[in-house]
Amino acid sequence: MRILSVEQKVSFYENGYVVLRDIVPIEAANAARRLINSRLGNLRSKAQTAAMIARAAGTSIDAHGIELIQEATLQSMRAGTDAHLMQLVAPESNLMCMIEEALGSPVREITGAQLATNFPADPGPQINESGYSDEDTPFRGWHGHLDGLWNGATSIHQDTSAPMTENEWQTWLQEPARNGGMKSYPEHGTSISNFTALLGIPLSDQSVVGCGNLGLLAGAHHHIERFFQKQRDSGGPLGPGGPEWTRFDLEAPNGCGLRHYPEAVRNAFRQNAAETADGRIWPAPTFMQVKPGDAVLVLHSTPHGASRVEGPDPRFMAYFRLTSAARPVPHESIYPEALCDNWLEWKGMHETVGRVRQRSQ
């Protein structure tokens, strides 16, 4: 059974992520990529069929045609539960054995993958969740986030010349959000849900920067952990809306940006940061240079996000959200204690964490 080396465990502790090279069988990665491409091809076929039906009737695409395209799109999303994707995280694989050794417990049953596809694009005016345009967001449009946060019930406000109307605000503020999240979980004292780790498996070559690489704010998990501890000690709740974390950035160009990690953490990464014309600081991410066969294991508390594809080919990633099977049942999706202690659920990391912390004292 393969396990994380001492060096890998130290890197995981220090950076909040670890890259596992050549751990996924290339046949499994290729089969998963073929699945995505076949689904995209199916989507194209459905669109062509709808257009042909419309031309034969002498009309534009009708409701039936739109329904065909929508169904094909949903099919491509449902591919996240396909056996070819689930094979990437087969329970007895070297990958899962390594992760479970570091956890010191099994991973709760994985029910599906998030298929993240980014296509080649030039910098443009599209507004992202931070409230800034892609072309104005440094580091290839990277604006990292923590998972488990409410992100608005409607699409992002794209008008930078006028704020949302009161009706638009009220609609946007509804729950659940587009990602299924709620603004608060009062029974847990948080406004954020959390799993144990994010597992990213590249299905396309991202070995050079500019391929839509996953960006990670290396080392930020230490700051996030201390921030949640401070929120807890101040009475909570943990997350946006809690002490020193205002959810909305009303000064963003679109008037309603979302702060997907605390300003205190952003300010801790001023070194090597970029600055937009309005004085906003943008921390520099570390871009994962990976290829099919590799995997990236990321702590929930490490801000992460995709970046723009500058090359000629689309970027394909399969993401799996992992939760320790040892997590208490009432806290399966929201575990405040783990927000305040990065390594609470990582029993197989405790010796390494203790040794590194002792050396740094």
| Whether residue 157 sits in one domain with residue 243 | yes
DSSP lists the bridge partners of residue 201 as 318
Domain count, the chain: 2
Same domain? For 233 and 164 the reply is yes
Whether 141 and 84 map to the same domain: the answer is no
In angstroms, the CA 209 to CA 198 distance is 21
Residue 246 CA to residue 112 CA, distance in Å, equals 32
Q: Find the farthest-apart pair of alpha carbons in the chain and give their distance in angstroms, rounded.
A: 77
Domain match, 316 and 220 both: yes
* 175 Cβ contact partners less than 8 Å away, ≥ 6 residues apart: 150, 153, 182, 183
Residues 121-178: pLDDT tens digits? 999 999 999 999 999 999 999 999 999 999 999 999 999 999 999 999 999 999 999 9
pLDDT digits (tens, 9 = 90+) for 252-290: 999 999 999 999 999 999 999 999 999 999 999 999 999
Residues 182, 107, single domain; the answer is yes
Q: Which of 38, 59, 89 is the last residue of a domain?
A: 89
For 222, phi then psi, to 5°, come to -65, -45
Q: Which pLDDT score, from 0 to 100, does residue 234 have?
A: 98
Q: What is the pLDDT of residue 266?
A: 97
Contact at 8 Å (CB) between 51 and 334? no
- Shared domain for 207 and 58, answered yes or no, is no
Q: What is the pLDDT of residue 126?
A: 96
Consecutive H or E run containing 355: helix 350-360
The 10s digit of each residue's pLDDT in 224-237 is 999 999 999 999 99
- If you average pLDDT over every residue of the chain, what do you get? 92
CA dist 236 and 307 (Å) reads: 32
pLDDT of residue 76: 52
Same-domain check for residues 354 and 228: yes
**pLDDT > 50? residue 215:** yes
What pLDDT digit, counting tens, does each position of 37-77 carry? 888 877 655 545 444 444 555 554 455 545 544 555 555 55
pLDDT of residue 50: 47
Domain check: are 31 and 107 in the same one?
A: no
Asked whether residue 201 is domain-assigned, the answer is yes
Find how far residue 306's CA is from the centre of its chain: 8
Percent of the chain residues topping a pLDDT of 90:
85
pLDDT tens digits along 5-25: 999 999 999 999 999 999 999
180 in a structural domain: yes
pLDDT at site 61 = 47
> Residue 55's domain spans which residues?
26-89
Residue 333, classified by CB atoms within 10 Å of its CB into exposed (0-12), middle (13-18) or buried (19+), is: middle
Same domain, 49 and 180: no
- Which pLDDT does position 45 carry in this prediction? 53
Per the domain annotation, does 1 fall within a domain? Answer: no
With CA atoms as reference, report the closest residue to 339 among 210, 216, 192: 192
Burial profile 66-92: b = 16 or more Cβ within 10 angstroms, e = fewer: eebbeebeeebeebbebebbbbbbeee
Q: Which amino acid is at 65?
A: G
Residue in this structure with the two tokens 């290839």, named with its chain if needed: 140
Residue 125: exposure state from Cβ atoms within 10 A (0-12, 13-18, ≥19): exposed
Which residues touch 352 (CB under 8 Å, ≥6 apart)? 6, 9, 10, 13
Query: pLDDT band at residue 78, thresholds of 50, 70 and 90?
Result: low
